[in-house]
Structure 1
Amino acid sequence: MDKRCVGGYSKRSSAEIIPFLKTWVNLPMAIGFMVLYTKLSNVLSKKALFYTVILPFIAFFGAFGFLLYPLSNYVHPTALADKLLALLGPRFLGPLAIMRIWSFCLFYVMAELWGSVVVSVLFWGFANQITTVEEAKKFYPLFGLGANVALIFSGRTVKYFSNMRKHLGPGVDGWAISLKYMMSIVVVMGLAICGLYWWVNTYVPLPTRSKKKKEKPNMTTMESLKFLASSPYIRDLATLVVAYGISINLVEVTWKSKLKAQFPSPNEYSSFMGDFSTATGIATFTMMLLSQWIFNKYGWGVAAKITPTVLLLSGVGFFSLILFGDPLAPGLMKFGITPLLAAVYVGAMQNIFSKSAKYSLFDPCKEMAYIPLDEDTKVKGKAAIDVVCNPLGKSGGALIQQFMILTFGSLANSTPYLGGVLLVIVGAWLGAARSLDKQFTALRQEEELEKEMERAAVKIPIVSTNGSLESDSSTNTSTETSSPQNV
């Protein structure tokens, strides 16, 4: 955040700005990208669409590190924001803070969109085009494992440059220097992504899908949205994504409020969160190793229902400890823990297992579900779901909490109602997963039938009675024709 901000309200901009960014900037930009992506998908090839989407991100992050941040003193309208704040009052602190440090806010939004656009739409979209469902069961959990390993390296990189700033002389903007290094790495890695994509498409023989693309005329944005809304398959997929976003947001915020009450000291809080992060990493790694066995033994439907089931069961335990902590206090004291501490531990377990299930099962299930779709539905549906529904789920959870707090006065008073909302959301999630399982199975059976029909249509060489080779495309070729007795 901008360190030059003056006045009490300006100092609080960092805390006030996040809800406005998530709801009123990030979500509209995500919707705008989805509209643009839908239009571009009608006129560009897959390769051109890939480069057209990723290159502006790479250019922006490079420009931010080397141009926008060094010039932030000149491009940020700080004086105008101060005048408007004095005129309008502290109620407009959030929106004015966005204007005050607009380049930093744009960086935040682009970083948020990077995960939805480059990872979810471009990477997973390409993986879905060249991977069969059976291959996806084997390799998709490994992709998630690789992403978690990359997260470890990125964290160590950030820590290295943070420590480097400590050794710089006085008057040196250490953050500007480390930002240039980090944005240089982002640019290099982004160009490496483009190079790898080009190499794979040029030199690696990619499998062809048997499911032919349906011939569709180019559609306008509104026609595309109506087309997607009319598909029960896409609606169920969207329900899964939005339900996860709302559920995890409702639980996590409530849990963190209890966590701060249990560990008011910053050192105690950070120590607990360090243990929490380690446990999450271990659980995620273990679940990713188990996920392939789950897919092979129980199939897509069971794997898709594990994440909401984990959230439901652990959510019942978490909210029960909050609501009925007093009657349970005597029993818990025998184990040396208070109801608040028990709620913190159960909430931590819920977050650990729900996130590990999300990375190892929910994400692979979601991506596998796109594979049997025709290319038009796959491209536009994935853009709508991954780019819009992800932030919509987060914003939806935040809006529900804001409404509850305004209605009941505090987050603590809203807890029983948040628990009820969680039950409804997870119930809808399980219903959508059950419906999607039936449709997914039907599409796979249809795809297998098409493959069988294609194989049956291939001309098969046979040996005739006079010893010459003939071709017969009939699927009902008599076995007597090629039997040893008739040769």
Structure 2
Amino acid sequence: TSVMMFLYIFIFTTVRDTKDSLVVTNCGAEAIPFLKLYGVLPMATAFIMGYSKLSNVLSKETLFYVTLVPFFIFYIAFAFLAYPARDMLHFPPPPGTMMHPAMALLRYWSFSAFFIASELWASAGVPLLFWQCANDVTNLEQARRFYPLFAVIGNLAPIASGKTMSAIVSRQATNDDDGFGMTLKYLALVKVSICGGIICLYRLVNGMSSKGRALALTRSMKKGQKCQAKKKKPTFAESMVELSKSKELRAMATKVICYNICIELTEVLWKGILRKKYTNKSDYMAYMANFSQIVGITAFILQIAASSIIRNLGWMAAALITPLSMAALAIPFFLSVSLGEKYVPAATALLIGTVQNVISKATKYALFDPTKEMAYIPLGPEAKVKGKAAVDVLGARTGRSIGSASQQIMVIIA
């Protein structure tokens, strides 16, 4: 199971660094709030509605494949078809030198589509597909011991991904858009190979779990327990109304939304500073690859201690470490930016922002996610499928969108 997590996070890291390299260098970091609010949020809503609808008609295994495979078809098509034809597909630049971020997103629409798909993968990969599988095969007592350990191997993925991306970028024949295109093709082939690995591991884990469930069912029937009649599955709207009554799901949704608001407010500002220093796609990707390696190393170190933290300090203390560390580092970062380059050099602000983002992500992977997933285990099947999808996909996108809207309002006021 931990190997599956490794593969999911490996893909997440590569697409995160790639989407930022495409959008930030072409449209600017200030375009990201527009894209997340008007592009990612509607698509996330459509994804949840489609996922919930399919969960009523497909088996869990088929639903897994139907959710997973389209992402990799898109990444192959983008690398081998869309990006090589970018000049033909994209709109010509408007007259004048300045272009509004929203207009830039429309002009580079294929890059925007890649960004949206990658944001959906960020919510559908590890949070939904992996943890749903893990929650199905793990009980609460096992989770306290094993969930932090799952992530020990899983959090080596950013290191491996960063090393892989750095190696591919360093071997580019040229440092221009064509060289970057070859990097995209190599990464797409890596993604497809990993997709095959995920499917094989899922079949193995799901097969073992199915045998265990079948054995338990046989034992219960021998004891004279009757199988419950199959109930009519509720509609998406009925499910959401019923799930909204769950105190646990409301608490988890609040937790996810607030985390994503906070990370959005700091991350976009940090990426804006980063773009000023690295205007070339390949250089930007190389920096992000190194950043991912640092995140992975930090998360791995924290993960080793995570089991002890949860066991000795308790669930609540472990869950509070992420928001407290984010706030403690966000204050000096915002202060360094607000003072301006006259008092704080841009390189210093970039360093503080990088440290803040590293700690925010590392503590999320090591503590925030495992503690959140433990809360799902006692819940019913409906909450584990539709409730989890709503919290992890729509909740995350809602938080990002609120952060994006806040930034747009602040820009207008300023």
TM-score class, shorter-chain normalisation, is: 0.7 to 0.9
Query: For residue 78 of structure 1, what is the aligned residue in structure 2?
Result: 91
Query: For residue 221 of structure 2, what is the aligned residue in structure 1?
Result: none
Whole-Å Cα distance in 1 between the matches of residues 346 and 85 of structure 2? 48
Q: Map residues 416-435 of structure 1 onto 2, 5 A cutoff.
A: none
SS at match of 2:171: helix
Q: Aligned letter for 2:121?
A: W
Whole-Å Cα distance in 1 between the matches of residues 333 and 30 of structure 2? 28
Whole-Å Cα distance in 2 between the matches of residues 145 and 35 of structure 1? 33
1:140–1:364 contact (8 Å) kept in structure 2: yes
Say if 2:212 is the partner of 1:198. Answer: no
Task: Provide closer, same or farther for how the CA distance between residues 272 and 157 of structure 1 changes in structure 2, counting only shifts above 3 A.
Answer: closer
Task: Provide closer, same or farther for how the CA distance between residues 199 and 23 of structure 1 changes in structure 2, counting only shifts above 3 A.
Answer: same
Q: Aligned letter for 1:380?
A: K
Say if 2:142 is the partner of 1:127. Answer: no
Percent identity between the two aligned chains: 39
Q: Aligned letter for 2:400?
A: K
SS at match of 1:64: helix
Q: 1:187 aligns with which of 192, 204, 207?
A: 192
Whole-Å Cα distance in 2 between the matches of residues 58 and 341 of structure 1? 37
Q: Aligned letter for 1:387?
A: V
Give the Å deviation of 1:113: 1.3
Give the Å deviation of 1:343: 8.2
Unaligned 5+ runs, structure 1? 1-10, 326-336, 410-487
Q: 1:292 aligns with which of 307, 323, 338?
A: 307
Query: For residue 180 of structure 2, what is the aligned residue in structure 1?
Result: 175
Q: Aligned letter for 2:124?
A: V
Give the Å deviation of 1:179: 2.4
Task: Provide closer, same or farther for how the CA distance between residues 315 and 60 of structure 1 changes in structure 2, counting only shifts above 3 A.
Answer: closer
Unaligned 5+ runs, structure 2? 1-24, 218-226
Whole-Å Cα distance in 1 between the matches of residues 132 and 66 of structure 2? 15
Query: For residue 460 of structure 1, what is the aligned residue in structure 2?
Result: none
Higher RCO, 1 or 2 (CA under 8 Å, sep at least 6)?
2
Give the Å deviation of 1:106: 1.5
Query: For residue 320 of structure 2, what is the aligned residue in structure 1?
Result: 305
Query: For residue 377 of structure 2, what is the aligned residue in structure 1?
Result: 371
Q: What do the CA deviations read for 1:253-291 (whole angstroms, capped 9, x no partner)?
A: 56778x78xxx8779xx9999997776444322211111
SS at match of 2:376: coil
Q: 2:244 aligns with which of 219, 222, 229?
A: 229
Give the Å deviation of 1:62: 1.9
Q: 2:109 aligns with which of 99, 102, 115?
A: 102
Query: For residue 62 of structure 1, what is the aligned residue in structure 2?
Result: 76
Q: Aligned letter for 1:20?
A: F
Q: 2:145 aligns with which of 134, 138, 145?
A: 138
2:158–2:293 contact (8 Å) kept in structure 1: no
Task: Provide closer, same or farther for how the CA distance between residues 23 and 182 of structure 1 changes in structure 2, counting only shifts above 3 A.
Answer: same
**How many pairs were matched up?**
373
Q: 2:121 aligns with which of 93, 96, 114?
A: 114
Whole-Å Cα distance in 2 between the matches of residues 23 and 160 of structure 1? 34
Whole-Å Cα distance in 1 between the matches of residues 87 and 289 of structure 2? 36
Give the Å deviation of 1:130: 0.6
Query: For residue 217 of structure 1, what is the aligned residue in structure 2?
Result: 232
Q: TM-score, normalised by structure 2?
A: 0.75
What value does the CA root-mean-square deviation take over the aligned residues? 4.1
Query: For residue 364 of structure 2, what is the aligned residue in structure 1?
Result: 358
1:130–1:207 contact (8 Å) kept in structure 2: no
Task: Provide closer, same or farther for how the CA distance between residues 105 and 213 of structure 1 changes in structure 2, counting only shifts above 3 A.
Answer: farther
Query: For residue 161 of structure 2, what is the aligned residue in structure 1?
Result: 154
Between structure 1 and structure 2, the one with the greater Rg is: 1
Say if 2:414 is the partner of 1:401. Answer: no
